[in-house]
Amino acid sequence: MAQKRLSRTQFLERLLAIMDRKHHWAWPIIMGPGITKAQLNVHYQQEFLVYVRDFPVLLARVHGQNPPPDVRRMLAENIYEEDTGGLSFGRSHPELFNEMMRGLGFDSDVFQTAKLLPASARYRAWLEKVTASRDWVVGAAALAVFVEGSIKDRQEIQAPSKPKTEAEIEAYIDAHPLIRHHGIGRQHMDLIRAHQKVEAGHRQDAYTMVVTYADTRRQQNAVLACVAQGLTLWMRYRDAVVKACKLKRP
C-alpha cells in the first residue's frame, strides 16, 4: 500500500526537525576569540572550495531542470545576486568572500589551489549529485533548504525577520566575530552586508518552494532523505575541518 502524502504542515515539521540538528559543537570556537588565523585559514579554504566558489553554478543547475515559473524566478534572483551582486554591492558573493579573506591577510590565490579534505570532497560530491537530479525539488532542497539553512531556520519560519535598516546592518557588522576578535577592517565585510541586505524572507521562500512542489509522498520522502544525508555528510565534513585545525572539544 502506498504511503499517504504528508500534509504541508507535517512535511515542513519533518524538514525543520532535521535542520534543528544542523549545528556543530566547534562552531562557537571557530567564531570565538581563541581561534588562530592559521586555523581560520583552513576553515575558510574548505568553505570556499566546497560550496562558496561554485554556489551560483550549482543553483543554475537546479534552475536548468525547468521548475515552475515562480520557482525559476526565485532561483534566478538568487543566482543573479550570488553571481553578480546585482541586488547589493555589484560584486559576486565569491568575489566578496575573497575580499573578506584579503581583509584577514589570506592570499585568495591559495584558496583556488588548496586541496579538499576527503570528507569535504565527499560533501561536495553529494552537492554535485543532488543538483544533477532530474527532480529539481531535490536539488532545491539540498541548496536552498540545507546549504543555505541553519539551526535558526525554525525561528525564522515562525517569526520572519524584517529587512534591516542600514544602521542595523552596520551594527551587525560591528558585532561580527571577525571584527571583534581578528581586527578585520570594516571595508572588507561587504559579503556579510550583502547577506544581511538581501536575505529577509529568503528562508520562507526556500521552504515554500520545496514544501509546495514536493506534492507526492515519494517526492517528500526523497527530499527528507536528501536533507538527512546532507546533514550526515556536513557533520563529517565539519568534523574533518575541526581535526585539521586541531581543535579540542570542551
pLDDT at 120: 98
Is residue 6 one of the residues assigned to a domain? no
Is residue 97 one of the residues assigned to a domain? yes
pLDDT at 169: 94
The count of domains in the chain is: 1
pLDDT at 163: 85
Compute the Cα dihedral for 169, 172, 174, 176 and give only its sign: negative
User: What is the extent of the structural domain holding 171?
Assistant: 11-245
Is residue 219 one of the residues assigned to a domain? yes
Between CA 188 and CA 132 the distance in angstroms is 34
Is residue 200 one of the residues assigned to a domain? yes
Is residue 125 one of the residues assigned to a domain? yes
Is residue 57 one of the residues assigned to a domain? yes
Q: Which of these, 125, 217, 180, 156, lies nearest to 22 by C-alpha position?
A: 156
SS3 117: coil
- What CATH number is attached to the domain comprising 55? 1.20.910.10
Cα-based angle 213, 201, 168 (whole degrees, multiple of 5): 165
pLDDT at 1: 59
Q: pTM to 2 decimals?
A: 0.94
For the record, the C-alpha cell of 75 comes out as: 532561483
pLDDT at 200: 63
Percent of the chain clearing pLDDT 90 (strictly above)? 86
Backbone angles phi, psi at 67, to 5 degrees: -70, 175
Backbone angles phi, psi at 19, to 5 degrees: -65, -25
pLDDT at 17: 98
Q: Which residues of the chain have pLDDT under 70?
A: 1-2, 200
Q: Which of these, 245, 247, 241, lies nearest to 121 by C-alpha position?
A: 241
Residue 107 burial (CB count, 10 A): 12
SS3 226: helix
